[in-house]
């Protein structure tokens, strides 16, 4: 048994990742700025970025300076935008790593110009997210700075692009109005995240910023394109036991056997990102058959009822992904745990090794 797969691990299909990126690029008809923040949503930023080089992206998006530094240390040379506002201590490090900050207030812009001179930066414009950036109707307050130190790009972020209502249209109108009031129109303008691209045709802007679609999550609501699954989570059976009628499983005794039951212990728990919320609710796949999770998920181990499933110690259970003709997809897991799919992916902890697979592209 390969040492990587002794206990539990994440399989990452790089071919599916690349096909998802190609689908987004084909739909948008402009270059991509793939979001590889949060370690590429938990799947490994460096390996993901290297794979996505094949779609010739404009650059990459991260949330922090250290995330950008990691890509630079891996010799990723394309532009890297840091989308979370910089703290005062971040500016010099951003300059050293040749990172492009997203700025949205006078003090930050002035600080960047002082630290970086004429190095590129991008203007964040808040059109309704109320998170970061200059408010769309206050763009005139920065007019002098924008005239003397023009940004390379300007962008906004949709808060509900997956909804079939007027919110995206309202934000686009606000964004266009703010752009029109800038003294110089930036050469690069962008707005669309994954849901926005899924639900539209070719982009009206310069680039698009796909995130979770790349990693296998669809927004639903009659999207025009659908992603392939990228990540699967697997864990070994490390013990098997038979318990009798009335006996309980795990902390609090929340699950009680009805008759004799065969219980398998899997070497994965909430310290690996398999949430306590999945206890008594989720299922796993073992040798192509479903087995329910029984009792509370513990820090390092999860128990499943395999009374009707043939399995032995050392067999691999699939907690998310396909096995045989069945599949437990990311959306199903998220729904069971009352979580966002983003939370499930980014919650997969570093204790789980990543095994990168290259399916046919």
Closest Cα partner for 49 from 19, 69, 341, 59? 59
Task: Phi first, then psi: give them for residue 303, nearest 5 degrees.
Answer: -105, 140
Listed in order, strand segments (DSSP E) in the chain are 8-13, 60-62, 80-82, 100-103, 122-126, 134-135, 153-155, 188-190, 231-243, 248-249, 255-256, 261-266, 283-286, 289-292, 302-305, 316-323, 326-328, 354-357
Which among 41, 215, 251, 256 is annotated as catalytic?
A: 251
Tell me the residue length of the chain.
361
Q: Do residues 354 and 273 make contact, with C-beta atoms less than 8 angstroms apart? A: no
**How far from 84 is each of 22, 41, 101, CA to CA, in Å?**
26, 16, 8
Q: What is d(CA 286, CA 304) in angstroms, rounded to the nearest whole number? A: 10
Which among 37, 215, 270, 274 is annotated as catalytic?
A: 37
Residue 251 among the catalytic residues: yes
Which pair of structure tokens corresponds to residue 90? 């971040």
Q: Which string of DSSP letters, residue by residue, matches 38-85?
A: HHHHHT-HHHHHHHHGGG--S-EEESSHHHHHHHHHTT--S-EEE-SP
Catalytic residues, by residue number, are 37, 251
């Amino acid at each position: 048994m390969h040492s990587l797969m002794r206990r539990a691990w994440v399989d990452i299909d790089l071919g599916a990742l690349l096909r998802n990126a190609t689908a987004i690029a084909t739909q948008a008809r402009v270059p991509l700025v793939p979001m590889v923040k949060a370690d590429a949503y938990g799947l490994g930023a460096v390996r993901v970025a290297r794979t996505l080089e094949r779609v010739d992206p404009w650059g990459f998006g991260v949330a922090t300076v250290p995330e950008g530094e990691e890509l630079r240390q891996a010799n990723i040379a394309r532009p890297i935008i840091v989308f979370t506002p910089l703290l005062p201590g971040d500016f010099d490090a951003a300059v050293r790593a040749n990172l492009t900050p997203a700025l949205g207030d006078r003090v930050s812009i002035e600080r960047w110009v002082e630290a970086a001179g004429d190095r590129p930066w991008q203007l964040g414009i808040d059109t309704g997210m109320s998170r970061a950036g200059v408010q769309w109707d206050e763009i005139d307050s920065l007019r002098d700075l924008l005239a003397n130190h023009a940004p390379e790009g300007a962008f906004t972020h949709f808060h509900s692009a997956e909804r079939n209502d007027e919110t995206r249209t309202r934000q686009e109108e606000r964004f266009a109005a703010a752009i029109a009031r800038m003294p110089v129109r930036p050469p690069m303008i962008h707005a669309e995240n994954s849901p926005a691209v899924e639900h539209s045709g070719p982009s009206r802007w310069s680039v698009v910023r796909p995130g979770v679609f790349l990693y296998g999550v669809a927004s639903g609501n009659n999207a025009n394109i659908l992603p392939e699954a990228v990540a699967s989570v697997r864990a070994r059976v490390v013990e098997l036991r038979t318990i009798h009628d009335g006996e309980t499983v795990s902390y609090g005794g929340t699950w009680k056997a009805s008759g004799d039951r065969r219980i398998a212990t899997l070497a994965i728990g909430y310290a690996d990102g398999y949430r306590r919320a999945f206890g008594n609710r989720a299922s796993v796949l073992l040798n192509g058959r479903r087995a329910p999770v029984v009792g509370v998920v513990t820090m390092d181990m999860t128990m499943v009822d395999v009374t009707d499933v043939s399995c032995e110690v050392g067999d691999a259970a699939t907690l998310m992904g396909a096995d045989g003709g069945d599949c437990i997809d990311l959306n199903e897991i998220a729904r069971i745990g009352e979580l966002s799919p983003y939370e499930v992916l980014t919650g997969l902890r570093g204790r789980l090794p990543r095994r990168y697979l290259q399916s046919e592209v």
